[in-house]
């Protein structure tokens, strides 16, 4: 497939936003059950969530560049019963709205206690809203990834690993950003977030590698013989029906030379996994904000390459009809 940068930025940016929110809420939840210290400043979760919102809005804006008719985008909520894209269109604004509410509860300080599960476990409004938003965050990961995983003849995408990778990569980058955020405001959660960023990056490395290995061994169900229905091993295309190319030759081919295509794979493996883990390890030892920020930036740039490769690697069966240009 031809990777569209609008979709690359949409999926990576909202992944960071979702991951950052999940990191913040995990911090809050852990502090309620007294695993982690409570953050003195109520703004920690609040401003952190606003930062997550910035990424979500940026992703949403990027997505509009993908549309031929952005002014009709509201229509895309209609077919949620059948379309994962429609579901994403519903869940993304819901997640953004709830993230904003969560941020406002923390920043305003208006956070009434709702009920207490025990003397130690007091559920206030922000905890409940955060819990709802956590469900929305994971739903959004599923919706985004299922847009690709549900197309069964795009065999590189049609695997549960697609959903797992979108989730883990989004969370890894979000936790890396949360570590940088914690370092910036000099919170004592630096080690917690930095440590989990490394763990999530390691898990994502395992599942993304599994997807790469799986995709390198794919046996394609369609071939030229089934595409035109002629049983012969030796079929050569002589004309594709147009001289100067068509939508079919532009939309479904990435157009990169094999050397570039391969080098992007190695580039993202190094930039998403190896370098951030090394930088985060050094950063955890030194508590330097700059190193945490650098780890996040390197990982995010790596994720752009990762998403490019994700799209480029998918081999659409229609390409069988366009072998000779």
Which residues from 246-305 bind other proteins, rule CB under 8 A?
246-248, 251-252
Q: Which is nearer to other proteins, 88 or 306 (CB)?
A: 88
Which residues from 159-198 bind other proteins, rule CB under 8 A?
none
* Stretch of 137-145, 150-158, 173-181, 269-277 lying at the interface with other proteins (CB under 8 A): 150-158
Q: How far is the CB of 220 from other proteins (least distance, A)?
A: 10
DSSP-assigned letters across all residues of 98-163: HHHHHHHHHHH----EEEESSSS-EEEHHHHHHHHHHHHHHHHHHHHHHHHHT-TTSTTT-SHHHH
Judge contact between 165 and 12, C-beta under 8 A: no
CA distance 221 to 315: 12
Distances in Å between the alpha carbon of 221 and those of 153, 157, 215, 322? 8, 14, 13, 17
Structure tokens belonging to residue 148: 């690709």
Q: How far is the CB of 304 from other proteins (least distance, A)?
A: 20
Q: How far is the CB of 80 from other proteins (least distance, A)?
A: 8
Q: Which is nearer to other proteins, 191 or 318 (CB)?
A: 318
The torsion angle over the Cα atoms of residues 256, 206, 49 and 285, rounded to 10 degrees, is -110
Which of 117, 146, 145, 119 has its CA nearest to residue 131?
A: 117
Among 86, 133, 144, 201, binds other proteins (CB under 8 A): 86
Q: Which is nearer to other proteins, 219 or 257 (CB)?
A: 219
Q: How far is the CB of 60 from other proteins (least distance, A)?
A: 14
Which of 232, 186, 174, 184 has its CA nearest to residue 20?
A: 174
CA distance 86 to 84: 5
* Stretch of 93-101, 293-301, 302-310, 316-324 lying at the interface with other proteins (CB under 8 A): 316-324
Q: How far is the CB of 78 from other proteins (least distance, A)?
A: 5
24-28 long-range Cβ contacts below 8 angstroms, 24+ apart: 24/48, 24/49, 24/52, 24/178, 25/102, 25/130, 25/131, 25/133, 25/134, 26/196, 27/178, 27/189, 27/192, 27/193, 28/126, 28/127, 28/130
Which residues from 21-80 bind other proteins, rule CB under 8 A?
66-70, 72-73, 75-79
Mask for 197-226, x = binds other proteins (CB under 8 A)? ------------------------xx-x-x
Among 50, 150, 267, 274, binds other proteins (CB under 8 A): 150
CA distance 216 to 205: 16
Q: How far is the CB of 316 from other proteins (least distance, A)?
A: 7
Among 151, 210, 278, 301, binds other proteins (CB under 8 A): 151
Among 217, 219, 238, 257, binds other proteins (CB under 8 A): 238
Can you give the binding site for other proteins, defined by CB under 8 A? 1, 66-70, 72-73, 75-79, 82-86, 89, 147, 150-154, 221-222, 224, 226-230, 232, 234-248, 251-252, 316-319, 321-322
């Amino acid at each position: 497939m031809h990777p569209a940068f609008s979709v690359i930025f949409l999926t990576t940016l909202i992944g960071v936003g979702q991951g950052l929110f999940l990191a913040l809420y995990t911090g809050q939840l852990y502090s309620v059950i007294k695993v982690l210290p409570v953050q003195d400043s109520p703004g920690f979760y609040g401003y952190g969530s606003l930062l997550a919102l910035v990424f979500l809005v940026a992703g949403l804006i990027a997505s509009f560049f993908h549309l031929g008719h952005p002014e009709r985008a509201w229509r895309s909520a209609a077919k949620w019963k059948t379309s994962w894209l429609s579901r994403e269109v519903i869940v993304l604004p819901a997640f953004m709205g709830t993230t904003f509410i969560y941020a406002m509860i923390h920043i305003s300080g208006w956070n009434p206690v709702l009920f207490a599960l025990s003397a130690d476990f007091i559920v206030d409004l922000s905890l409940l809203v955060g819990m709802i938003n956590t469900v929305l965050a994971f739903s959004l990961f599923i919706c985004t990834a299922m847009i690709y995983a549900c197309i069964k003849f795009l065999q590189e995408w049609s695997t549960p690993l697609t959903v797992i990778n979108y989730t883990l990569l989004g969370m890894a980058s979000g936790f890396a950003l949360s570590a940088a955020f914690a370092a910036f405001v000099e919170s004592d959660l630096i080690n917690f977030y930095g440590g989990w960023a490394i763990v999530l990056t390691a898990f994502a490395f395992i599942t993304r590698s599994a997807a790469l290995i799986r995709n390198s061994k794919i046996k394609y169900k369609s071939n030229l013989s089934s595409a035109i229905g002629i049983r012969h091993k030796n079929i050569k295309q002589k004309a594709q029906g147009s001289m100067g190319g068509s939508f079919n030759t532009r939309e479904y081919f990435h157009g990169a030379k094999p050397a570039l295509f391969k080098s992007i794979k190695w580039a993202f493996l190094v930039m998403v996994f190896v370098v951030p883990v090394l930088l985060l390890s050094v950063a955890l030892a030194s508590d330097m904000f700059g190193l945490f920020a650098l780890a996040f930036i390197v990982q995010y740039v790596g994720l752009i390459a990762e998403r490019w490769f994700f799209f480029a690697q998918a081999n659409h069966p229609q390409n069988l009809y366009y072998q000779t240009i």
